[in-house]
Chains A and B, each alone.
Chain A
């Protein structure tokens, strides 16, 4: 199980760096894939926090690395001209308040890095981490994500 989750996130990350290396992908798809990695990572953490999966330090670390790596690349995927298309849920505010948007994105990466420096050591620790990361997700989605 532990191997599986690590491999899944590793594989998704691998694909991401692969795709960015070739720079063939539309920014809309790239940023959607990055958000998917974050979602997948939160799912791993959530399963441990809820006790659906046993605590697994390596899986927690892999999930946090997934969040950190994705969020560092994420704010660069919003060049002018990508405001629409490919079912993007990006809100126009991203291009109106770019600095704030980037700061919020960076904040999530920084939180993940802080947690990586001292990986939560048990179920309760993962629960607390989930709560902190989740609030940051919502804080940004409140303004910058649009449900169409």
Chain B
């Protein structure tokens, strides 16, 4: 009798162990294979700079209120409030100790494309690798090359202040298993080069959907509501719908959108506001062609009310 119970308990323990192992396997940090970063050659710094601006790095990583050339100092420290707690944005300047100056391309690339930190840990998706994952290793090489040319800062940001269970990084593995992929958000059914460039810029480095798409209770983007707007995750107010069905921007022409990105003025000469001010400043650094591509894509996504 005792033997039988031991067997049952043993079998039960084995099942649990297999389950835990499977869960671990499915949710463990998953960097890209080392050879992804080989043979990329010299970075194209101009392309890297475009990615820097469309990626909005300065929006979070520059010091609060930075203007002029100071927006290129990625000193970190900005507190990002969220329903899960407060994130303190890290230093990603070229400083070898406080920043990422001593990181390898693979380390930087795994953070950008896989949400895996230098120590092999899961990164919080407040850093939008969930969008950046749509970039290629070539893009990452160009961006990393450009960022190394920016000034160093010795600033050290405080640790994140998150409530339980969000302070357990292993839980992020489950979140990533559910919500993290690098698939396109919309099927454009068009091989048009400009549209594809727009899709890359908006869905990838531009990470527009991170704010402009509503999230479910677990913080995953609602795929069926791509770019349909919703409550402001950082506080009061609403983030506007930017699909062609939008009451505010749906009627804007592609030219109106481009002009808005360049000047911050709506067709009625109302001005950009809220967190979009920072985004618009960054977008104003992009070429006319890239801004036209973004506008064309925004006109091609499914209409949402």
Give A residues with C-beta under 8 Å from B.
Answer: 39-40, 42-43, 46, 91-92, 130-131, 134-135, 137-139, 141-142, 145-148
Chain B residues near A134: list those with CB within 8 A.
263-265, 271
Q: Are A146 and B263 in contact (CB under 8 A)?
A: no
Chain A residues near B273: list those with CB within 8 A.
138, 141-142, 145-147
Q: Are B277 and A148 in contact (CB under 8 A)?
A: no
Q: Are A139 and B238 in contact (CB under 8 A)?
A: no
Contact of A138 among B240, B269, B277 (CB under 8 A): B277
Q: Are B272 and A138 in contact (CB under 8 A)?
A: yes
A129 to B67, CA, bound (A): 19
Q: Tell me the smallest distance from the CB of A32 to a CB of chain B, in Å.
A: 12
Q: How many residues of B contact A (CB 8 A)?
A: 19
B237 interface residue, CB < 8 Å from A? yes
Q: Are B269 and A42 in contact (CB under 8 A)?
A: yes
Q: Are B269 and A39 in contact (CB under 8 A)?
A: yes
Q: Is the interface of B mostly helix, strand, loop or mixed?
A: loop
Chain A residues near B268: list those with CB within 8 A.
39, 43
B278 interface residue, CB < 8 Å from A? yes
B75 interface residue, CB < 8 Å from A? no
B193 interface residue, CB < 8 Å from A? no
Residue of A nearest to B266 (CB): A39
Q: Are B281 and A138 in contact (CB under 8 A)?
A: yes
A sample of 23 cross-chain residue pairs with beta-carbon separation below 8 angstroms, ordered by A number, consists of A39-B269, A39-B270, A40-B269, A43-B268, A43-B269, A46-B269, A130-B263, A130-B265, A131-B263, A134-B264, A137-B272, A138-B264, A138-B271, A138-B277, A141-B271, A141-B274, A142-B274, A142-B275, A142-B277, A145-B273, A146-B237, A146-B273, A147-B237
B280 interface residue, CB < 8 Å from A? yes
Given contacts A42-B271, A145-B273, 10 further A-B contacts (CB under 8 A): A39-B269, A40-B269, A42-B265, A134-B271, A138-B264, A145-B274, A147-B237, A148-B236, A148-B237, A148-B238
Residue of B nearest to A89 (CB): B273
A39 to B277, CA, bound (A): 17
Chain A residues near B275: list those with CB within 8 A.
142
Give B residues with C-beta under 8 Å from A.
Answer: 236-238, 240, 263-265, 268-275, 277-278, 280-281
A80 to B85, CA, bound (A): 31
Chain B residues near A135: list those with CB within 8 A.
264
Chain A residues near B264: list those with CB within 8 A.
134-135, 137-138
A22 to B114, CA, bound (A): 63
Among A42, A43, A46, A142, which residue has the most Cβ atoms of chain B within 10 A? Answer: A142
Q: Tell me the smallest distance from the CB of B202 to a CB of chain A, in Å.
A: 20
Chain A residues near B237: list those with CB within 8 A.
146-148
Q: Are A139 and B277 in contact (CB under 8 A)?
A: yes
Q: Tell me the smallest distance from the CB of B7 to a CB of chain A, in Å.
A: 64
A147 to B270, CA, bound (A): 12
Q: Are B265 and A91 in contact (CB under 8 A)?
A: no
Chain A residues near B281: list those with CB within 8 A.
138
